[in-house]
Amino acid sequence: MKTANRFLVLIAVVLLSSTSCKDSKEHIVTLNVDTSLIEKSNINDYCDFGQNKDSISNEDYTIIVNVGDKITWQGISTSSEYDTVKIKKIKHVKGEGRNVFDKDSLSGNEKVIGRVLHYTKKDKPYKYKIFFTVYNNGVRRNGTFHIDPKIQVNQ
């Protein structure tokens, strides 16, 4: 009898987790960086998220997701396939509403992955910081950079 009960519990867990995950999506946010020219004083001139920078600045770039979605942040060099952009940390900006992730900061080595747990206020995106390092010709450029886009989480 215990085996039958365990089997029923296992089936229930699998069914519940599959229905809660089926609506979630995976989002990949790619930070494009000109690794040959970026400096701390010109970050916004030499990186973007693929948006039209004439109409949407990096600070106004907003990713819209839902609770349960998975986000992967990655970086690529736009100037050399041999250069690298490493996303090191995603950090909730204090004063920008409730943190939408399970931790105040998410860490990684080249990419950072997070699952969205909380929604933002209706139609109100929150700022978060992306910390990244840049390697040009094998040499790290100017320490750690950061950029502050937005995230909006629907229920």
CA distances 20 to 24, 65, 79, Å, are 8, 15, 41
So what's the pLDDT on residue 7?
Answer: 46
Q: Which residues of the chain have pLDDT under 50?
A: 5, 7-21
So what's the pLDDT on residue 98?
Answer: 87
So what's the pLDDT on residue 65?
Answer: 97
pTM assigned to the model: 0.84
So what's the pLDDT on residue 12?
Answer: 45
So what's the pLDDT on residue 13?
Answer: 41
Q: Report the DSSP beta bridge partners of residue 126.
A: 151
Instruction: Report residue 91 CA to chain centroid gap.
Output: 10
Contact between residue 152 and residue 126 where contact means Cβ atoms under 8 Å apart: yes
Q: Which DSSP helix (H) or strand (E) runs through 13?
A: helix 2-22
So what's the pLDDT on residue 23?
Answer: 83
Question: What number of residues does the chain have?
Answer: 155
So what's the pLDDT on residue 43?
Answer: 96
So what's the pLDDT on residue 122?
Answer: 87
